[in-house]
């Protein structure tokens, strides 16, 4: 594996270098498909869920039949990632594997398949910048340059202080409010270089702006995805969908409590 490590040293930080070297190759937000030992990430590193997270673990497991515990791989990996500062060490995957009684490699497969699992260390604020066509047309290139200049990092890199990691990804489904970034779980939309810098500064102070009414924050003062002309349609309140009223109390969706309904 020595040679592998050396090869990787040349190839990593994977996304950026590979993208440059290969010309057209887009990184697609992807890290390497195998594990490389780093001091904080070896199979022997200690990882265990916290006491209260174990309650969540049990809650998740209780959703599935006892012989299909593997169904809990994704929620548990997510839980582990949240507990471990936004990334998944290989020890955490092993832990999940032992909890769901699957072979470790089955868990590695899942974790390496989904790009929302970071298998290498990321900063406290993990910036996923959308670079797909709508965002690109609306100026995501500028946003990217702004971030790179402001933080002094390239795509796929982490700042020295471990605060930010930048990664260019594909469409995050907020095209109406392009360009946008996803900061950990939160969407910041309708960005301009100026607001992007403001956002970064706010993060540096540890106070990223709170999400708006609809669960995301368009940074240009919009409430939702109404566009630069303001609201032009959907004037009357549509019939609410038939949902379990119990679950949403008085029929109104409260984004804050939606998260609470998701069991983590």
Partner 1 sequence: MKFNYDLEFKNNSNNNFWKQNTPLIEYCETLGINVPHYCYHKNLSISGNCRMCLVELKNSPKPIVSCAMNAKSCLANGDIHTNSSLVKKARENVLEFLLLNHPLDCPICDQGGECDLQDQSLFFGLAKKRFYSFKRVVLDKNIGPIVKTVMTRCIHCTRCVRFAAEIAGIEDIGMFGRGLHSEIGTYVEKVFQSELSGNVIDLCPVGALTSKPYPFVNRNWELKNITSIDFSDGFGTPIQLFLKNNQVIKILPGYEKATYKTNWISDKTRFSFDGMFSPERIIYSFLDNNQKESFLNLSWQKLFKELFCTLYFQSHLLKHYFHPCSITICLNKNISLEVLNLLHILTHKHSFFKLRQSESSNLNIDLEENFLLNSSLDEAKLAASDTCVLLGVNPRYEGPKLNLKLKSRCLKGNFKTITIGSLFNLTFSNITLSSNIQILKSLVEGNNLFCQEFINSSNPVLISNAEIFRRGDAYGISSMIKSLIKHINLYSQTNGRNHLNILSSTLNDVGFANFDNLRTIKNKDFRNSAGIYFINSSFSTSNVKKLLNLKLLNFFQSYKHKNKLLVTQGSSLEMSQLTNFKKSFDVTNHLHLPNTVFFENSGTYINTEGDINKVIKVITPLGQAKSDWQIIRKVFSYSKKIVFLTNFLKNSKIVFNSKNIHQFKSYVGFQYYAVSNLNNLTFQFVEKVTKFHLENLKFKPAQKKLFKSQLRFWLSDFYIDGKDINSKYSSTMIQCSKLSRLNNTNFKF
Q: Where does this chain bind partner 1 (CB under 8 A)?
A: 1, 4, 7, 22-25, 28, 30, 32-35, 37, 43-44, 90, 103-106, 108-109, 112-113
- Classify residue 224 by burial, with Cβ atoms within 10 Å: 0-12, 13-18, 19+: middle
Nearest by Cα to 198 from 213, 183, 216: 183
Q: How far apart are CA 51 and CA 245, in angstroms?
A: 32
Judged by beta carbon distances under 5 to 8 A according to partner kind, the member of ligand FES, partner 1, none in contact with residue 109 is partner 1
Does the annotation flag 203 for ligand binding?
no
Task: Render 216-229 in DSSP notation, one character per residue.
Answer: SEETTS-SSS--TT
- 43 contributes a contact to ligand FES by CB under 6 A: no
Which residue lies nearer to partner 1 by CB, 4 or 202? 4
User: What are the E-state strand segments in 156-246?
Assistant: 164-169, 181-183, 186-189, 217-218
Q: How far apart are CA 229 and CA 155, in angstroms?
A: 33
Q: How far apart are CA 111 and CA 114, in angstroms?
A: 6
* Window contacting ligand FES (CB under 6 A); options: 69-77, 102-110, 165-173, 204-212: 165-173
Report, in Å, the least distance between residue 137 CB and ligand FES: 9
- 190 contributes a contact to ligand FES by CB under 6 A: no
Q: How far apart are CA 117 and CA 223, in angstroms?
A: 30
Which residue lies nearer to ligand FES by CB, 172 or 197? 172
Give the side-chain half-sphere CA count within 13 A for 162.
5
Judged by beta carbon distances under 5 to 8 A according to partner kind, the member of ligand FES, partner 1, none in contact with residue 257 is none
Give CA separation, 7 vs 1, 36, 39, 157, in Å: 10, 11, 18, 18
Nearest by Cα to 207 from 198, 217, 220, 219: 198
Judged by beta carbon distances under 5 to 8 A according to partner kind, the member of ligand FES, partner 1, none in contact with residue 130 is ligand FES
- 135 contributes a contact to ligand FES by CB under 6 A: yes
Which residue lies nearer to ligand FES by CB, 12 or 180? 180
Judged by beta carbon distances under 5 to 8 A according to partner kind, the member of ligand FES, partner 1, none in contact with residue 103 is partner 1
Judged by beta carbon distances under 5 to 8 A according to partner kind, the member of partner 1, ligand FES, none in contact with residue 193 is none
Identified binder of ligand FES from the candidate list 36, 172, 225, 253, rule CB under 6 A: 172
* Window contacting ligand FES (CB under 6 A); options: 175-183, 204-212, 216-224, 242-250: 175-183
Q: How far apart are CA 122 and CA 84, in angstroms?
A: 10
Give CA separation, 45 vs 41, 94, 259, in Å: 6, 10, 31
- 173 contributes a contact to ligand FES by CB under 6 A: yes
Residues that bind ligand FES (CB under 6 A): 130, 132, 134-135, 171-175, 178, 180
Feature table: binding site for [2Fe-2S] cluster: 130, 135, 171, 175
């Amino acid at each position: 594996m020595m040679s592998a490590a050396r090869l990787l040293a040349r190839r990593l930080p994977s996304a950026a270098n590979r993208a440059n070297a290969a010309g057209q190759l887009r990184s697609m937000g992807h890290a390497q498909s195998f594990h490389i030992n780093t001091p904080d990430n070896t199979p022997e590193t200690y990882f265990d869920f916290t006491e209260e997270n174990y309650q969540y673990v049990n809650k998740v497991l209780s959703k599935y039949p006892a012989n299909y515990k593997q169904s809990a791989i994704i929620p548990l990996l997510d839980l582990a990632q949240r507990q471990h500062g936004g990334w998944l060490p290989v020890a955490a995957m092993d832990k999940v594997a032992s909890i769901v009684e699957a072979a470790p490699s089955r868990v590695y497969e899942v974790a390496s398949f989904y790009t929302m699992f970071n298998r290498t260390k990321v900063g406290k604020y993990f910036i996923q910048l959308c670079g797909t066509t709508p965002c690109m047309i609306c100026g995501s290139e500028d946003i990217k340059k702004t971030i790179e200049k402001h933080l002094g990092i390239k795509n796929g890199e982490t700042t020295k202080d471990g605060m930010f990691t930048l990664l260019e990804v594909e469409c995050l489904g907020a095209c109406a409010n392009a360009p946008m970034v996803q900061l950990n779980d939160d969407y910041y939309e309708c960005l301009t270089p100026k607001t992007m810098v403001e956002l970064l500064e706010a993060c540096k102070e540890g106070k990223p702006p709170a999400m708006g009414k609809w669960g995301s924050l368009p940074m240009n003062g919009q409430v939702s995805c109404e566009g630069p002309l303001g609201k032009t349609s959907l004037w009357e309140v549509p019939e609410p969908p038939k949902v379990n009223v119990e679950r949403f109390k008085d029929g109104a969706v409260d984004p804050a409590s939606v998260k609470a309904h998701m069991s983590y």
